[in-house]
Chains A and B, each alone.
Chain A
């Protein structure tokens, strides 16, 4: 088995006051492992310790107890950080820069050659759909546009590990769907993704494994399929059913039938289809 990309052992964080007295324990001993190429979801309600965990993994906070390793190194290690891309919960970008300058700035923090920065900037701006606004200052961006650019900056160094904290926050359904597509593309490219979200549908769609935190305590972790599979039920879908066929099925199953109803399309897929159709109808400029 390859070495885990992220490993925590008894990782604990207690915030203290000015005098060093314990104020609140945001993270109780946490043991996690994220394997290479995996999309791992960190779930939990607000205040559950998700962001604290991420900050500990990025070396922005020091653990009160326990250890964390990223690529087998301490979280603050600069070499490890060169292989990480991070999108924070809010998009903390400089509003006086434009998209190109922002990506160039972050590229220089990774000491990327100028030519590489130019190439990556073009690719990423195209990827997040900001070609029309590449020269516009971020102060004039909508929240969704800034979020897209935040995602682009997280990928400027072609990271092996991408940490995304609420990546779809502020995005419209199309944008959210594109982000989910992007996560799946990253997975196909062999990247490891740590996804932190409280939008459960997003997580369910893209994650291989999840961990659920509540008030800093790990409540559950495992493969999404394993956790969500209901072994005591089975869904049967029929093509062009008529009343007689439905009645026969009900009769055969007797009182073990829980519900019989036409399957519903997911709202996200429906919305996407409508918007795409509308866009296709519009005359090209």
Chain B
């Protein structure tokens, strides 16, 4: 009980100090940047502007959160040690662990407040500039897939194959099976998002469109129910004929999309998946059938199909995205607290920034390891770095939000589980260092 009371007292004093020493000015500066960028977004198309606005908001949140995570907790701990406030603090029944956890919790509370504030401001800004908010989608990926012959025979796709090219006689296609879809399906059902590559069946044919049908059946395999064609969602940017003309009953027009383009708002065909197309155990089978003999369709298991549901408001997704950033911030705070128990503030700041930049560059380590010509000692070093360093690009929140992808709570928990491990190690080391320290 006393332990908890001490933790709360230190956390509360941390928040008060951050508030009264005008650290909120940093948040205000970030907000100002948001406003200025919001005013100036005028030269590109509306979809890109919206995307850029969301990227700006997440970048502003990320910048402020990382900076404050490195500065606040370590600065206060160092001040307590250098300014000898620690004499008085630790003459009370205050242990090193509640003190550290109190500082850490206080910093995170400050950051969470900033995240919520900037998310609200960002959402308001988007609404003000675009008169609408992007619809966020939470997606599920297929668990299995099969190739379907023109005679309707389903054949499992080989293990190593990432793509299937549909060519030859029309009527062939691909089936994707999704299981573990959410049980609480809304009355309007879910959405199927589809994106494939389309080209001419022969080198001489210049084609980027292909008529097709998309159907769905509840269940999978032997227990697959009756298939029904899926209607196009009115909001779908694609699926109609050239110039927006209507297709024949039940048909859609596939249009070539570079797989690198992943914005759900503009790069994916969207179809409606009724609740009756999903079995009670949350399984559905989606089938794409190619209808144009002139066109070849390239589909993949992971990159061509998603089942999506409403992912909530932009604000709540920004906050959840902020909570992922908060996990990184928690780790940086713990790391700088550890450094602050032993080193002066300059060293602490340098160390915090070094970890941040190193963690942001883990992908370059991965890329470098792909090269065969890397010498053995360097390879060992890089492999060690890859294992030891936290990867700050593991959860691509900013890119996902910009692509209208919702940030589900599961991502937040995963981020906390991943960075939380580092945080726990850093805090444990900081505790050991502070306990050993003579004041």
Chain A residues close to B by CB (< 8 Å): 55, 58-62, 78-79, 81-82, 84, 86, 88, 90, 92-94, 96-97, 101, 105-106, 108-111, 137, 153
Convert B62-92 into 0s and 1s, putting 1 for each residue whose CB lies closer than 8 angstroms to a CB of A.
0000000000000000000001111111111
Can you offer 26 A-B residue contacts whose CB atoms are under 8 A?
A: A55-B439, A60-B87, A60-B90, A60-B91, A60-B438, A81-B93, A82-B93, A86-B92, A88-B87, A92-B88, A93-B88, A94-B17, A96-B17, A97-B13, A97-B16, A101-B16, A105-B12, A108-B5, A109-B5, A109-B6, A109-B89, A109-B92, A110-B93, A111-B5, A111-B6, A153-B88
Knowing that A60-B91, A81-B91, A108-B9 touch, tell me 18 more A-B residue pairs with CB under 8 angstroms.
A58-B90, A58-B91, A60-B87, A60-B90, A61-B438, A88-B84, A92-B83, A92-B84, A96-B20, A105-B9, A108-B5, A108-B12, A109-B6, A109-B89, A109-B94, A110-B5, A110-B92, A137-B20
* Residue B257 interfacial (CB < 8 Å): no
Which residue of chain A has the shortest Cβ distance to B76 in the bound complex?
Answer: A94
Give Cα distance in the complex from A58 to B2, angstroms: 18
Inter-subunit contact A86/B93 (CB<8 Å) = no
Q: How large is the interface on B (under 10, 10 to 19, 20 to 34, 35 or more residues)?
A: 20 to 34
Partner of A78, one of B5, B83, B95: B95
Chain B residues close to A by CB (< 8 Å): 1-2, 5-6, 8-9, 12-13, 16-17, 20-21, 83-95, 438-439
Which residue of chain A has the shortest Cβ distance to B83 in the bound complex?
Answer: A92
Give Cα distance in the complex from A98 to B85, angstroms: 16
Which residue of chain A has the shortest Cβ distance to B94 in the bound complex?
Answer: A109
Give Cα distance in the complex from A82 to B16, angstroms: 25
Residue numbers in B under 8 Å from A81 (CB-CB): 91-93
Inter-subunit contact A60/B8 (CB<8 Å) = no
Inter-subunit contact B2/A110 (CB<8 Å) = yes
Q: How far is the CB of B81 from chain A (nearest CB, A)?
A: 11
Give Cα distance in the complex from A96 to B14, angstroms: 11
Known contacts A55-B439, A108-B8, A109-B94, A96 near B16 by CB under 8 Å: yes
Give Cα distance in the complex from A58 to B5, angstroms: 21
Partner of B2, one of A55, A59, A62, A111: A111
Give Cα distance in the complex from A82 to B3, angstroms: 12
Residue numbers in B under 8 Å from A61 (CB-CB): 438-439
Which residue of chain B has the shortest Cβ distance to A62 in the bound complex?
Answer: B438
Q: How far is the CB of A62 from chain B (nearest CB, A)?
A: 6
Inter-subunit contact B439/A108 (CB<8 Å) = no
